[in-house]
Amino acid sequence: MNKKHLSAGMVHTLLLSYTLLALWPIFLVLINSFKTRKAIFKDPMAIPTVETFSLVGFDKVLARSSFDIYFSNSIIITVVTLTLTLLIGAMAAWALSEYKFRGNLLMGLYLAIGIMVPIRLGSVSILNLIVELNLTNTLTALILVYTAQSLPLTIFILSEFIGQIPKDLKEAARCDGVSEYKIFFEIILPLIRPAIATVGIFTMVPVWNDLWFPLILAPGEEARTVTLGVQQFIGQYVTDWNAVLASLTLAIIPVMILYIFFSRQLIRGITSGAVK
């Protein structure tokens, strides 16, 4: 009994240590975003006090830049990408797991290759395609690229979850005259909701934090995202750390809100996937 308690305590200690290690950079960003520039360099690990507290970074970001445009662009790109990825990915996963056809296995292998090969290797070809389609400096270009990037993993994960749904449930619905569309939207989707939440968070975070494709495909002022907008405060010789840290603090908010709302579904999706 003592050995079990000891092993459980060690596991909890390791998990707590990893949690603190992962949250420490976020904690530093948050506390230093509310401090003066002098206080940041003097003691970056200190909590803001009455003397060191300052909102100058947020004032520069919100009042003296187009951060509202960058923020709304990131929101639009992320929401539309998530919607397209989850809808198309769930439908494709349903087709691959439910209907057996010639080339089913090859299609699955093709999607697996899409997971293993980084999409950034095709950046030059993607840029040429976007230029030919006249989509440079548009949100559409980023949405299309991110959707294509996210679909292979989404289909792969959701197809495994859909494959675990009992066939008797689907056959009973068909015997009652329920259409395939109704089976998918009213039976399958509610049952794989934890998996959808998991895939949604895993899709949102890379899209929200990405700097590579916004820098290449949409560097214009009207199409900039939050991550690209932060770069304007980073100079070759001088960096406005108050504005940078304030921008990063504002950029963290949507991810934290999403995690708070979907944390239960995320944990259920991860644990059920581990068991399966």
In the three-class reduction of DSSP (H, G, I as helix; E, B as strand; rest coil), residue 234 is classed as strand
- Give the helix, strand, coil percentages of the chain, each rounded to 5: 80, 0, 20
* pLDDT tens-digit readout, 34-85: 988 888 888 888 888 888 888 888 888 887 778 888 889 999 999 999 999 9
Q: What is the separation of C-alpha 207 from the centre of its chain, rounded to a whole number of angstroms?
A: 5
pTM for the whole structure: 0.82
Cα 82 to Cα 88: distance, rounded to the nearest angstrom = 10
* pLDDT tens-digit readout, 107-157: 777 777 878 888 888 889 999 999 999 999 999 999 999 999 999 889 888
Query: How many CA within 13 A on the CB side of residue 221?
Result: 2
Q: What is the separation of C-alpha 164 from the centre of its chain, rounded to a whole number of angstroms?
A: 25
CB atoms within 10 A of CB 109: 10
**φ and ψ of 264, to 5 deg:** -65, -45
List domains and CATH numbers for the chain.
1-57 (no CATH), 65-275 (1.10.3720.10)
